[in-house]
Amino acid sequence: MDEQHHKRIFVVLHQVVVILLVMVVVVVGPSSCVKGGEEEDRILELPGQPKVSFQQFSGYVTVNKVAGRALFYWLTESSQNSLRKPLVIWLNGGPGCSSVAYGASEEIGPFRVNRSASGLYINKFSWNSLANLLFLETPAGVGFSYTNRSSDLHDTGDRRTAKDSLEFVVQWLERFPRYKNRELYITGESYAGHYVPQLAREIITYNTNTKYPINLKGIMVGNAVTDNYYDNLGTVTYWWSHAMISDQTYRQLISTCDFHRQKESDECESLYSYAMDQEFGNIDQYNIYAPPCNNSDGSAATSRRAMRLPHRPHHPAVRQLSGYDPCTEKYAEIYYNRPDVQKALHANTTGIPYKWTACSEVLNRNWNDTDVSVLPIYRQLMANRIRVWVFSGDVDSVVPVTATRYALAQLKVATKIPWYPWYVKNQVGGWTEVYEGLTFATVRGAGHEVPLFKPRAALQLFKSFLSGSPLPKS
């Protein structure tokens, strides 16, 4: 057999192989042919999970190979027409708290953890009825996200978090290409008042240097850390106006504390301690009108979640009561430490040398970089026609409504629709005002985690945000 004949046979065989590969891709689907693609992240079913119609995926994206930093995510696709729905990223704050623990498991996600931590039940007000929800645990060291460089846990902050989160989004979209051109919204609460606008700014910068821009449309933050000075001034004012502290303590705080400073004087910190320890009493700072989650002996159960602002003394706050159960965080910590749950989630695959916790004390205590104010970022986002919504549960004393109103007033933007009550189920859901480039809304009777306390109102808020329309007047 001559050499020419050999070549012809080789060409024919090569063509056959190519045709077979094309047929496999068409029949099976491209994701099944790509190692490391989305199929490897598919969740078949979580332990104790009720049957659902939507798809779920979870896993890791390495955002820094040198340090070995990898961020964990959990995607719950929309329960209706997911291919036509936007992608919404949810971030929790702390800094150091888990979006799986809070956003996914007791706020906007499709499931709640039951009391025995034996399984899950449906949240009928889940935001995945309107969008595909991507819960991201950021930065490395939060929840299941990890780093192989231990020094990262003792030296982190806003800048690295924003850059790692951008790297996550870019790589995640490569893994899930069907989301590449989808509308993207970033949402969150508390210290995510920093994470959300900072990530949005990183995306805007990224979009100026790429042929394939990320389709960012808007951001929404709740009870959000915004500006050091006005957050602190507004918080102390809220305490006094809601009779949580005495006239004397209020006057001393105002005259003694320099709210512009990142770290307060010892005298100021002592006043904060006195107010919290002696004058607040056994209340839940995250919802001042709800009884806290108490231990079996009647004493207050402290929460690891307690959001400790870098510019405020570190004091634990007791856990809040929701319309459901004040102790849901305890159930989450049992459930997500179960080996069968971690296996189903493709989590803890490297054997993290510590238990999964709702919040990382190590990260919180070593937060070394924080923006003094995110108001300049708001201005930048508004100039780029990014939709900006800010909401505030009005019975939260940690990042209260007065703090947010003081901060937003500094933007000095024109009013489009004056202050009015908005409605849900024929009841006042809260109050709102629409400005040029920004909408502000309160949620009546909601604590720090608005969707936990007022799930129906929060869902209406989310619906209006996605549509870009004012909240209903009747």
Q: pLDDT by residue (tens digit) across 72-94?
A: 999 999 988 999 999 999 999 99
User: Given the structure tokens 């990898």, which residue do they identify?
Assistant: 70
User: Rounded CA gap, 77 and 458, in Å?
Assistant: 19
Q: Given a cut of 60, is residue 320 above it in pLDDT?
A: no
301 lies in a domain?
Answer: no
Instruction: Determine the average pLDDT of the residues in 260-266.
Output: 84
Q: Which residue is catalytic, options 145, 165, 190, 322?
A: 190
Rounded to an integer, what distance in angstroms lies between the CA atom of residue 203 and that of residue 199? 6
Q: Longest Cα pair distance anywhere in the chain, in angstroms?
A: 104
> Is residue 214 situated within a structural domain?
yes
Q: Is residue 1 part of a domain?
A: no
For the ranges 2-6, 235-239, 294-298, 321-325, the lowest mean pLDDT is seen at 321-325
Query: Residue 192's pLDDT band (boundaries 50, 70, 90)?
Result: very high
Q: What is the pLDDT of residue 5?
A: 56
Residue 69 lies in a domain: yes
Domain that holds residue 460: 41-224+370-467
Burial status of residue 450 (CB atoms within 10 A of its CB: 0-12, 13-18, 19 or more) = buried
Residue 131 has pLDDT above 90, yes or no: yes
Whether 455 is covered by a domain: the verdict is yes
The mean pLDDT value for 1-27 works out to 50
Q: What is the CATH number of the domain that holds 428?
A: 3.40.50.1820
Q: What is the pLDDT of residues 340-399, one digit of tens each?
A: 999 999 999 999 989 999 999 999 999 999 999 999 999 999 999 999 999 999 999 999
Would you call 155 a catalytic residue per the annotation? no
Residue 164 domain flag: yes
Q: Tell me the β-bridge partners of 87.
A: 132, 184
Residue 257 is encoded by which pair of tokens? 């504390």
Q: Is residue 341 part of a domain?
A: no
User: What pLDDT does residue 393 have?
Assistant: 98
Write the CB contacts of 162 (distance below 8 Å, at least 6 apart in sequence): 195, 198, 199, 201, 202
User: Can you tell me whether residue 294 is helix, strand or coil?
Assistant: strand
pLDDT of residue 302: 42
Name, of 5-14, 25-34, 344-353, the range with top average pLDDT: 344-353
The C-alpha atoms of residue 135 and residue 103 are separated, in whole angstroms, by 7
Q: How high is the mean pLDDT of the chain?
A: 88
Which whole number is the average pLDDT over 319-325? 36
* For residue 1, pLDDT beyond 70: no
| Structural domain total, the chain | 1
Residue of 99, 396, 397, 464 marked active site: 396
Residue 304 lies in a domain: no
396 tagged catalytic:
yes
